[in-house]
Amino acid sequence: MAVQAKKSGKARTKAEASGRVVAKKTAAKAVGKPIPAKRFTKKTIALIYDFDGTLCPRPMQEYAFLPKIGENPEAFWAESNAIAREQGADPLITYMHLLYKKAAAKNVRIDRSDLVAQGAAVEFYPGVAEWFDATADYVRKMTEGQGVTLRHYLISSGLTEIVEGTPIYRKFHNVFASEYWFDAYDLPFPKRVITDTGKTQYLFRINKGIENLGESINHHMPESERPIPFSNMIYFGDGDTDVPSMAVVRKNGGRAIAVHGGDAAGRGRCRDLVRAGRCDFFADADYRLGSSLYKRTCLLIDRMIADIRIAEEMWGLEE
């Protein structure tokens, strides 16, 4: 997929992955300074987002795809879920197939570039457009000169192509989402399907620094060699479909925040997630500076920065 090809795949040496990078001797010699031995590199904080219901109120297919083929969203999802239940099929594969089956039945041709163009129709929650730079600025301000950086990742069961067409696409260090193969068959065929539990694979890819999907994630990597510890992650989701990801992040020392659109049902869902120990906080999906969501995220970031400082100090003692 284009995103991974663009943004990932740099082979890391074992030393880099372990956070112990030996400074280049030649550079140090040139300025006549003593050679600094090694440095602590586990200083990347990762904010990881679900898309539908978390960054935008509705499933991304409802903004342009379903209207284009004249489908009522509620009826479409009900039909798709009923087929999945009856056939014992995966609900994600079922919806990806049904979208194009219905488009073909109506003689509507939607190729990859059409799908990307549909991304422009997605409407986001307030403040989303500014959120990514605002949180990165906050980290920069709180850690001046300490080398701590912030990355944004997306893990979605939705469609890569639509995400690619949204204005926030470039804000992500990497995007992991379902995707089609457009030229293999009569109808576009699912190339990658990211289910709710399948999302956790991508958390481990971020954790291990193996973001190139062509590389296997399964080999053992000791905790000490993983570039982004789970304790440096905050996962943002909106409901039950995020439970596996929230559970994996939190059980491994990371944090999770649930968001809702301000409705009673959404608030109730979030409250249940907190009660079940799935997330640390919940808030209105208001991403503007100064909102509860912004403040609570900054609180968790403050704690992460302190933990990174402590870890770095302890690491220094071992040297």
User: Is residue 50 close enough to count as binding Mg ion by CB under 5 A?
Assistant: yes
**Interface residues for Mg ion in 209-228 (CB under 5 A)?**
none
- Least separation in angstroms between CB 264 and Mg ion: 18
Please give the sequence-ordered ranges of beta strands (E in DSSP) within 227-267, or none if there are none. Answer: 233-237, 255-260
Strand partners for 236: 49, 257
Spell out, one character per residue from 225 to 244, where the chain touches Mg ion: x when CB under 5 A holds, - when not: -------------x------
* Contacts by residues 200-207 (CB-CB < 8 Å, ≥ 24 positions apart): 200/244, 200/245, 200/248, 202/153, 202/155, 202/176, 203/48, 203/155, 203/230, 203/233, 203/235, 203/245, 203/248, 203/249, 204/248, 205/176, 206/46, 206/48, 206/153, 206/174, 206/233, 207/233, 207/252
- Least separation in angstroms between CB 266 and Mg ion: 11
- 50 or 71: whose CB is closer to Mg ion? 50
- Least separation in angstroms between CB 110 and Mg ion: 23
User: Is residue 119 close enough to count as binding Mg ion by CB under 5 A?
Assistant: no
- 57 or 190: whose CB is closer to Mg ion? 57
User: Is residue 280 close enough to count as binding Mg ion by CB under 5 A?
Assistant: no
Of 40, 43, 53, 166, the residue at the interface with Mg ion (CB under 5 A) is 53
- 138 or 153: whose CB is closer to Mg ion? 153
Interface positions with Mg ion (CB under 5 A): 50, 52-53, 238
